[in-house]
A = this chain, B = another copy of it.
Amino acid sequence: MTADNYIVQEMPIVGLILQSLCTIPTEGGPVLRMLRPDTPLLPDFSQGFGELYFSEVLPGKVKAWKRHRRQTQLFAVPCGLLELVFFDNRPGSATDQVLFHTLLGRPEHYALLRIPPMVWYGFRARGDQPALICNFADMPHDPAECERLPADSPAIPWLWKEQR
């Protein structure tokens, strides 16, 4: 086993962290790394993990807005292209009121994104393929710790456009 040289980048919202991921070409199709226990993103997962699941986003569709009170999530997008928007309104956060827009997907945006609790997020599939999110979370899904706002909520300064 060779150690990875992880490249970790702080995003413009405190606690939102991006880690590089390798894609390894092989005969028949590539291997895409997602997670090893030595990732620098892992402090939240030191006691084990909560749940691993996928969320598929159909072309042009929006899933927004949502935040978790306690759950930390690690997202990778192995299929399709996903547009993500984050909004921080955590009282006392150094990045309170910051809105951040990014992409996840192959080839140029294949990476692992850590989403901290209490940050609002939403996403939309770009292009004509569904986008597949693989989510590795530190707690099992629990609707009781999940908050939602409608995609067109005036509380978040972003206008989603559904497209087909």
Instruction: List chain A positions with a Cβ less than 8 A from chain B.
Output: 1, 26-37, 48-58, 61-63, 78-79, 125, 130, 132, 134, 136, 140-142
**What separation, in Å, do the CA atoms of A79 and B63 have in the docked complex?**
19
Question: Given the complex, which residues of B lie within 8 Å of A32, measured CB to CB?
Answer: 53-56
* Min distance, Cβ A124 to any Cβ of chain B, angstroms: 9
**Further contacts, 12 of them, CB under 8 A, given A32-B55, A36-B51:** A1-B141, A26-B63, A28-B62, A29-B55, A31-B56, A36-B52, A37-B140, A54-B78, A54-B134, A78-B79, A79-B79, A132-B132
Most-contacted residue by chain B among A31, A36, A54, A141 (CB, 10 A) = A54
Integer count of this chain's copies in the complex: 2
- Chain A contact residues: over half helix, strand or loop, or mixed? strand
**What separation, in Å, do the CA atoms of A52 and B51 have in the docked complex?**
13
Question: Given the complex, which residues of B lie within 8 Å of A35, measured CB to CB?
Answer: 51-53
**What separation, in Å, do the CA atoms of A36 and B140 have in the docked complex?**
7
**What separation, in Å, do the CA atoms of A49 and B37 have in the docked complex?**
7
Question: Given the complex, which residues of B lie within 8 Å of A56, measured CB to CB?
Answer: 29-32, 78
* Min distance, Cβ A35 to any Cβ of chain B, angstroms: 4
A-B contact pairs, 10 of them (CB 8 A): A27-B61, A28-B61, A29-B61, A31-B54, A32-B56, A34-B53, A35-B51, A36-B50, A54-B78, A132-B132
